[in-house]
């Protein structure tokens, strides 16, 4: 998906932007369903950051809000596949893969990601906050190491620095948000 976008950004920009909007709309809908408003929404290198008004009512609400960004991308994939059956075009293929990539990437438990919050919420509900934090920390280290290894492999295999820089940007953003929180 990123390769399609990098090869022809004018043609596929709207597909990628639409998938990102669907992802964030999934979070917003889940937050509203949980009875929480949105205090702030910021854009960063790795996407949008949504700050809820107050705190969620339960770990289940946290988990639902974290999941439904990717859940909305799954619905976007289904819509793209159905539309493609009626109107086969490359934009629908890009839209399908943009949703697949965003949904899957956001479920990886890298520090600061939806997957990290989802993992924390599910473990905390069953095993407590201390255990959840230890599990999230270990999963974050593993996911960052795997993402860095994948980025290096892409650079060597594809000889395309653009893709690698995008992934390394996500790693840098995750690390800075993680260590920034620890020092404050």
Q: Over the chain, what HEC string results? A: CHHHHHHCHHHHHHHHHHHHHHHHHHHHHHHHHCCCCEEEEEEECCEEEEEECCCCCCHHHHHHHHHHHHHHHHHHHHHHHHHHHHCCCHHHHHHHHHHHHHHHHHHCCCCCCHHHHHHHHHHHHHHCHHHHHHHHHHHHHHHHHHHHHHHHHHHHHHCCHHHHHHHHHHHHHHHHHHHHHHHC
Q: Would you give per-residue pLDDT tens digits along the chain (184 residues)?
A: 555 555 566 777 888 888 989 999 999 899 889 888 778 888 766 667 777 777 667 898 889 999 999 999 999 999 999 999 999 988 899 899 989 988 998 899 988 889 999 999 999 999 999 999 999 999 998 988 888 787 777 777 766 666 566 666 666 665 555 544 433 3
| Global pTM value | 0.76
Q: Give the domain ranges of the chain.
A: 1-107, 109-115+128-184
């Amino acid at each position: 998906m990123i390769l399609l976008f990098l090869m022809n950004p004018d043609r596929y920009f709207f597909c990628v932007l639409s998938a990102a909007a669907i992802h964030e709309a999934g979070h917003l809908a889940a937050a509203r369903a949980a009875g929480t408003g949105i205090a702030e929404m910021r854009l960063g290198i790795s996407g949008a950051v949504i700050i809820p008004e107050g705190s969620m009512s339960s770990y289940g609400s946290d988990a639902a809000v974290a999941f439904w960004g990717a859940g909305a991308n799954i619905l976007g994939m289904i819509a793209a596949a159905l539309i493609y059956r009626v109107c086969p075009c490359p934009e629908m293929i890009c839209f399908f893969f943009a949703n697949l990539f965003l949904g899957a990437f956001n479920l990886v438990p890298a520090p600061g990601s939806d997957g990290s919050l989802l993992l924390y919420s599910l473990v905390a509900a069953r095993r407590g906050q201390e255990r959840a934090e230890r599990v999230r920390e270990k999963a974050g280290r593993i996911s960052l190491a795997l993402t860095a290894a994948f980025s290096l492999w892409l650079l060597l295999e594809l000889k395309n620095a653009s893709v690698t820089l995008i992934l390394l940007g996500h790693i840098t953003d995750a690390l800075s948000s993680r260590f920034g929180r620890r020092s404050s």
